[in-house]
Chains A and B, each alone.
Chain A
Amino acid sequence: MIELILDPLKYDFMIRSLITAFASGAMLSLLGPFAINRNMGFMADAMAHATLPIIAVGVFLGFSISELGVPAAILIAIFLGIIIKNTNVGEDTAIGIIFSSFFALGFVLISLLNVTINLEDLLFGQILAVNTSDVYIVVSLLTAVILILIVYFKQLLFYSFDPIGAEVKGLNTTFLNYLFLILLSIAIVGSLQTVGIILVLSMLIIPAAAAKLVTDTFVTSIKVSVLFGVVSSITGLYLSYFFNLPSGPSMSLVATTIFVLAFLSNKIRKKGSLATVTIS
């Protein structure tokens, strides 16, 4: 068993991939509980898809995807935030418009600018291609997300639970709104090489949803979500190594398996407690 675990570590590219998988898994699943409790899944998906035109232009100008991470994330978060706040068509509709139009714009730009991008890698991730600089960037992003979340945790929690109460209390709710959008966007853009545009949502939402099913408090759900996220990304990477499977989809399917187990465990727990009540 230990030999199996250590076997991939003889390759530098696998060490880089494992570190990146760990960082991406942790970063997304750390923000996941906030995202699912605020019903921001669709928003996160739109953020991921809205990166395509920025990546197209960035790669055309000679930047790598991970180098584009932070500026692209900030641009997307602010743009989405402003559009949603200022359109009268409803949040869901505004996100839907941005989602599809930016994705379409990305494809058109890739074609117009004749950019050399492997679309399959971009859509579903290609973690095995990460270089040392990519690893440093993703680990730095994870560190930044953790630090910012620690400092602003209570304010973000207040704002997420009761936005009106938070504003009345004197918190800067506009800042908190954009701060969370930027953190989310950073986690998404920073994880594109790991799981890709299409599957990044699975690593944000599924570990958090599974954690919510097996925990009772928000803070515990964050810890368990991170555990599930990291286990999914690392296990997915090992499966892709041993069975020659695509890495992003493997991670996503491991996360789904954990969710199904959490769902069943939740059902059994509820049934058990119901039976106890009936007997007593």
Chain B
Amino acid sequence: MDTKEVNSVNTPLIVSDGCCVHFGNAPALEGVDFSISRGKKVAVVGPNGGGKSTLFNALAGLIPLTEGSLKIDGKSPDQIKGKVSYVPQKDLINWNFPLSVKQVVEMGITTRKVSSLFNKKKTNDKIKKALKDVGLEEKINDNIRSLSGGQLQRVLIARAIAQDSEILLLDEAFSAVDIGAQEDIMQLINSINLDGKTILIATHDVNNLEEKFDEVLCLNKHCCAYGDPSEVLTPEVIEEMYGSHTELFINKSHFKTEGNNSND
């Protein structure tokens, strides 16, 4: 690995410095600071209305910051639109359209350039590769309405793979899918992560995060904690996010409390 490569690995890819987003007078994010290195797999947790989707929207360049700065590879999200893949919450998609799996994955390659209409061979190869990566190559011509919740999520991830961007944002990737499908999606995310992609996943499941993720970003309008899940997910941080409902955190043995590090 040459110096340039070493620098590029060590340089933080996403840096949030006092990031604030307000909707009218209502704050959605207040002074959020964190920095994520390349190739990390990060869980973004917090209560409903805690700012997870707002942060993703800001990272995707969909909403402007009220204050502070948010940089991806040194540039604002607006400047690198199209370089971040985004799997939105499923209820934001118009499922009325009876599309094929192929048509949905092809959206990851669709650009505003009219010339892209003529690269059919290249487009088909990319679609097939992406579907192979998510294990759905046999479903290429199936109607998306015939798929299960987990399969739909994998189709949307295939679309993000086809886009071939460095950062992948998944909003509520595990909602409305069964435990088996959640495991499949997690395995898929691990393999994408092994390819060097940086992945951020908004999730409500705060259990066993240290087994699944490199880092966790705890949000409740502000950044409650950021770092290694086994280090930062203390009862205080959970309480800061969810009030006194620490019973949500089923595997209490993972709490790292002062003077009583049960993980050790």
| Residue B103 at the chain A interface, CB threshold 8 Å | yes
Complex Cα spacing A171 to B82, Å:
8
| Residue A169 at the chain B interface, CB threshold 8 Å | yes
Closest-CB distance, B73 to chain A (whole angstroms): 16
Of B93, B98, B104, B107, which contacts A169 at CB under 8 A? B107
Q: Is the CB of A155 within 8 A of B112?
A: yes
Complex Cα spacing A158 to B93, Å:
10
Complex Cα spacing A163 to B62, Å:
11
Of A155, A168, A215, A218, which contacts B60 at CB under 8 A? A168
Chain A interface: which of B84-92, B200-208, B229-237?
B84-92
Complex Cα spacing A164 to B29, Å:
20
With A161-B104, A217-B99, A217-B143 known to touch, is A169 a contact of B82 (CB < 8 Å)?
Answer: yes
Complex Cα spacing A169 to B86, Å:
8
Of B94, B114, B117, which contacts A161 at CB under 8 A? B94
Of B88, B106, B159, which contacts A154 at CB under 8 A? B106
Q: Which residues of B contact A215 (CB under 8 A)?
A: 98
Residue interface mask B145-163, A partner, CB < 8 A = 1: 0000000000000010001
Q: Which residues of A contact B18 (CB under 8 A)?
A: none
Residue interface mask B88-122, A partner, CB < 8 A = 1: 10001110111110011011101110100100000
For B86, give the chain A residue with the smallest CB separation: A168
Q: Is the CB of B88 within 8 A of A170?
A: no
Q: Is the CB of B107 within 8 A of A151?
A: no
| Residue A93 at the chain B interface, CB threshold 8 Å | no
Residues facing B in A162-197 (CB within 8 A) are: 162-172
| Residue B252 at the chain A interface, CB threshold 8 Å | no
Complex Cα spacing A171 to B108, Å:
11
Q: Which residues of B contact A164 (CB under 8 A)?
A: 60, 62, 86, 88, 92
With A164-B62, A164-B88, A165-B88 known to touch, is A158 a contact of B107 (CB < 8 Å)?
Answer: yes
Q: Is the CB of A162 within 8 A of B94?
A: yes
Complex Cα spacing A37 to B85, Å:
25
Q: Which residues of B contact A162 (CB under 8 A)?
A: 88, 92-94, 107
Q: Is the CB of A168 within 8 A of B61?
A: yes
Q: Is the CB of B110 within 8 A of A169?
A: yes
Q: Is the CB of A169 within 8 A of B96?
A: no
With A151-B117, A154-B117, A171-B112 known to touch, is A216 a contact of B94 (CB < 8 Å)?
Answer: no
Complex Cα spacing A190 to B187, Å:
54
Complex Cα spacing A81 to B100, Å:
30
Q: Is the CB of B107 within 8 A of A218?
A: no
Of A36, A169, A216, which contacts B108 at CB under 8 A? A169
| Residue A82 at the chain B interface, CB threshold 8 Å | no
Q: Is the CB of B100 within 8 A of A217?
A: yes
Q: Which residues of A contact B163 (CB under 8 A)?
A: 169
| Residue A160 at the chain B interface, CB threshold 8 Å | yes
Tally inter-chain residue pairs, CB-CB below 8 A. Answer: 87
Q: Which residues of B contact A85 (CB under 8 A)?
A: none
With A154-B117, A164-B86, A168-B62 known to touch, is A37 a contact of B110 (CB < 8 Å)?
Answer: no
Complex Cα spacing A165 to B117, Å:
19
Complex Cα spacing A215 to B84, Å:
35
Closest-CB distance, A11 to chain B (whole angstroms): 42
Q: Is the CB of B98 within 8 A of A221?
A: yes
Residue interface mask B218-254, A partner, CB < 8 A = 1: 0000000000000000000000000000000000000
Of B93, B99, B100, B114, which contacts A151 at CB under 8 A? B114
Q: Is the CB of B111 within 8 A of A170?
A: yes
Complex Cα spacing A39 to B95, Å:
12
Q: Which residues of A contact B75 (CB under 8 A)?
A: none
Q: Is the CB of A161 within 8 A of B97?
A: yes
Of B60, B103, B117, which contacts A157 at CB under 8 A? B103
| Residue B81 at the chain A interface, CB threshold 8 Å | yes
Residue interface mask B34-68, A partner, CB < 8 A = 1: 00000000000000000000000000111000000
Complex Cα spacing A174 to B170, Å:
24
Complex Cα spacing A163 to B81, Å:
14
| Residue A10 at the chain B interface, CB threshold 8 Å | no
Of B60, B96, B106, which contacts A37 at CB under 8 A? B96
Query: B-side interface residues toward A, CB under 8 Å?
Result: 60-62, 81-82, 84-86, 88, 92-94, 96-100, 103-104, 106-108, 110-112, 114, 117, 143, 159, 163
In the complex, given contacts A168-B86, A216-B98, A217-B100, what are 6 additional A-B residue pairs having Cβ atoms less than 8 angstroms apart?
A37-B96, A157-B99, A161-B94, A162-B92, A169-B107, A170-B82
25 contacts between A and B (CB under 8 A): A38-B94, A151-B117, A154-B106, A154-B107, A157-B99, A157-B103, A157-B107, A161-B93, A161-B104, A162-B88, A164-B88, A164-B92, A165-B159, A167-B60, A167-B61, A168-B85, A169-B82, A169-B107, A170-B111, A171-B110, A172-B112, A216-B98, A216-B143, A217-B143, A221-B98
